[in-house]
Structure 1
């Protein structure tokens, strides 16, 4: 992300600084926040400095959720649309319709949380099981709560978002109201009786919303299948790359061993050459000395012969 200086003025600069801060890993957040706040104070922008300084460092789970929002913008927008459709469906559908959608919702949240964990791992900050469950809770909250959806849409989640308790998380929750109603003293009207009492327009609206929610869920599942295929392809490519790396490392190790042996042989050859050079110089000195002695002896013989005459 482009670094933004708050000296140029305007709320857009502060928004860009906040975007920059919440894109950083939590370990870097506070240092950069203080740098940006100090720059704002130096530029005599006290309100901006206070706003920047008030930004809270996100938890690791919140950072991972923000990372997912920024790294998968198109998929995140579709997830937000799905949340709007599911909230409308929750307001109008009967328990059987909610039960059908809840299983699809769980699969979508689980897959997106795995994507967030993968992105965090690639960024050098792997998530523990507990942290990944916090990411899942935040994603469930985004589907269930419009305020949580608005926070996540900005990419500035600070801590784990909690889904509302009245938004069913699964089939058991969706069925609970029906079982409770069956225990009431007064006999509740049957589903078919309620439908007969509903105006035709209301029934048509319920069916339309159910169809839209089912369509959104089907499309989300199709995207998940595509993402899984992409992930499988990426994992296969990663396995191939790791194999190539191992082969290259083995070749490098073999070459390094050959180089080590070659250097050892070179050192031995240099030592042998040095020793041979010393012997050669010694022998040459000995020969030269013997040559001088022979020449001197020959001259002595020659002088002796002249004296004998």
Structure 2
């Protein structure tokens, strides 16, 4: 069942619904109703989420190293190791860029070119995997349905924050004058981020709809071409059938004529046989008379 779901989430999104229904129907036919419900509940991934799933399944070693990099980054941020942060941040940008290009190439190889908004969603998902352990766990599952959004800062997870010996961490006292402005800026940034996400999703849905329309038009063109070929074959078959029917009609007429000629020949043959029989009797009678006359003369 897990392998079935993994395969479903790496299938192209435009084939997802049809493939999901086929797999669910197969499970129902086999009597696996729980599996059928799990398959039916699977959500179709966006293009960015599908590309991220495809990257995970197609590049397992690179994906494992990427997850390890994310863990190292979160630990560096947690320990506030400035030197490690600098090195890992540079590595983070390089790896995110490289992996996003690999995912885009995998998508092209599968027949789907990623647009710029979808590529941006894919990169945001990879950054979220590095920064957020929950996002890393979701991606590692290989069944993303939506692109992930990176947090505003690295989240170390459940591990404790490192402290210097002999010191105790204290919460920083917020500045009365800075807090409202910072809250306002954070709220504005959150609104902008939400609008950008909505716009990206809308663009992706529009692109998906256009791609679906193109595929349906191509499928209709294939059906129309097949219909034209079928009509041509039907017309050719009708012409051959008409020619065969004409030949059969001619053969029937010739057969009737031959039967009439046969009946007439049979009549002539019977008449000739009667004449021959009569001639044979006359010859026999004549022969007998000659014999009697010969004996009387002697």
TM-score, with structure 1 as normaliser: 0.49
Deviation per CA, 1:214-269: give whole Å up to 9, x if none: xxxxxxxxxxxxxxxxxxxxxxxxxxxxxxxxxxxxxxxxxxxxxxxxxxxxxxxx
Deviation per CA, 1:189-231: give whole Å up to 9, x if none: xxxxxxxx9329xxxxxxxxxxxxxxxxxxxxxxxxxxxxxxx
Matched, 1:43 2:30: yes
Match of 1:125 in 2: 112
Match of 1:158 in 2: 145
The CA deviation at 1:20 is: 1.2
The CA deviation at 1:94 is: 4.8
Match of 1:26 in 2: 13
Matched, 1:101 2:67: no
The CA deviation at 1:158 is: 0.9
Equivalent pairs, count: 161
Equivalent in 62, 72, 76 of residue 49 of structure 2: 62
Match of 1:148 in 2: 135
For residues 10-25 of structure 1, the aligned pairs below 5 Å read: 14-25=1-12
Equivalent in 41, 57, 72 of residue 85 of structure 1: 72
Structure 2: gaps spanning 5 or more residues: 156-162, 167-298
Structure 1: gaps spanning 5 or more residues: 1-13, 169-196, 201-309
The CA deviation at 1:151 is: 1.7
Q: Distance in 2 between matches of 1:160 and 1:130?
A: 11
**What is the SS of the residue equivalent to 2:14?**
helix
**What is the SS of the residue equivalent to 2:24?**
helix
Q: Distance in 2 between matches of 1:144 and 1:27?
A: 30
Equivalent in 156, 165, 177 of residue 199 of structure 1: 165
Match of 2:98 in 1: 111
The CA deviation at 1:103 is: 2.8
Match of 1:183 in 2: none
Further displaced range: 148-157 or 122-131: 148-157
CA RMSD, Structure 1 to Structure 2 (Å): 2.3
Does the CA contact (< 8 Å) of 2:131 and 2:153 recur in 1? no
**What is the SS of the residue equivalent to 1:82?**
helix
Equivalent in 120, 123, 144 of residue 136 of structure 1: 123
Q: Distance in 1 between matches of 2:9 and 2:46?
A: 10
For residues 217-232 of structure 1, the aligned pairs below 5 Å read: none
The CA deviation at 1:154 is: 2.1
Deviation per CA, 1:115-134: give whole Å up to 9, x if none: 11111112111111111111
Further displaced range: 135-144 or 149-158: 149-158
Deviation per CA, 1:174-201: give whole Å up to 9, x if none: xxxxxxxxxxxxxxxxxxxxxxx9329x
